Amino acid sequence: MLSLSRRTSVGRGMLSLGILVMAAAPLLAHGPEGADSSRLGGTSLWLSWTFPALVTVNLLLATSVYCIGVSRIWKKAGRGRVISVRQAGAFAGGLLILVLALVSPIDALADELSAVHMIQHMLLMNVAAPLLVLGLPGMALLWILPLEARRKVGTWRRHVRPGRAIYYLLWQPLLLWCLYAAVLWVWHLPGLYLATLDHELFHDFQHLTFLVVSCLFWRVLLDPVSRMRLSRVATVLYLFFTSLHATVLGVFMALAPKVWYPAYEGRTIAWNLTALEDQQLAGLIMWMPACMVYAIVVALVVAFWLHTNSDESLPMVEGQTG
């Protein structure tokens, strides 16, 4: 049963990735045909790597802090202890996704097409965030501190009363579910969305809120060590209702009779798309492949649950047989 579920999950993941690739492939292959109407001008798309100072510095800082923290942990406890090699690899994968979303040509193309902008948002919220959470960044950050400071943090955590600290509020699943939904919907309202296209710092703030809120959202599901992680049943419900509201937003965008973001009207022509077609493609990306991530995680949770139950039942079956 486990192997079948895993194959199903992998198949869904490949389908989801395939849809994303097929959605973006025509855009990347053709490139802008009219230099005047494309903000990329005559620059080759594949050379349009951007290195905004704020984003670049933060990526380098996050990488340095994590590497120093993990190296100190492994020096003290042994390689692969506390933070495993797989967890460190997950964090590295999350950082690579951040580079892909924020520095690669995807970022430049996101100013041209709302469909690619949607891919960028989904990479931040549904791919980078869970990978970063799996890497236990909080533990690595803790080990950056001197020994005395680490002890004080540990003492503080042991004496914090439940329900009376922000620390516990940031673990409340209902609050985080609502916050995640609000961030997703509010930032796609035309007024705020268009403002991000005109103001780079505002755009960076949007990406920051997407990433931070998504990390909190996924942490209550995936944090490898916390006892406050949701149960399997709660996880299924948590992700099921998330996929519902995300699907509704995608459907609204895909089936809207008029353009939500007029700023793209002068930019999509160079890519052989109308602004409405571009918006419809963006809605389809949120509707299907992005929401497929939630279904994949649910499938993995159910597969693990079935595997655990089957393992627990084996001794009883063997005893009856004997």
Whether 55 maps to a domain, the answer reads: yes
Stretch 84-94: mean pLDDT? 93
The answer, yes or no, to whether residue 227 has pLDDT greater than 80, is no
pLDDT score, position 54 = 85
Domain that holds residue 276: 2-308
Whether 215 maps to a domain, the answer reads: yes
Domain count across the chain: 1
41-71 pLDDT tens trace: 445 666 678 888 888 899 999 999 999 999 9
Stretch 69-82: mean pLDDT? 88
CA gap 251, 283 in Å, rounded: 6
Whether 317 maps to a domain, the answer reads: no
Total-model pTM = 0.78
CA gap 167, 173 in Å, rounded: 13
Residues 6+ away with beta carbon under 8 Å from 49? 103, 104, 105, 108
Whether 193 maps to a domain, the answer reads: yes
Whether 316 maps to a domain, the answer reads: no
Query: How far apart, in Å, are the Cα atoms of 75 and each of 71, 72, 78?
Result: 6, 5, 6
Whether 313 maps to a domain, the answer reads: no
- Residue 176: pLDDT band (50, 70, 90) is very high
Whether 164 maps to a domain, the answer reads: yes
- Most confident among 47-61, 175-189, 269-283 (mean pLDDT): 175-189
The residue behind tokens 């139950």 is 309
The answer, yes or no, to whether residue 10 has pLDDT greater than 60, is no
pLDDT score, position 177 = 94
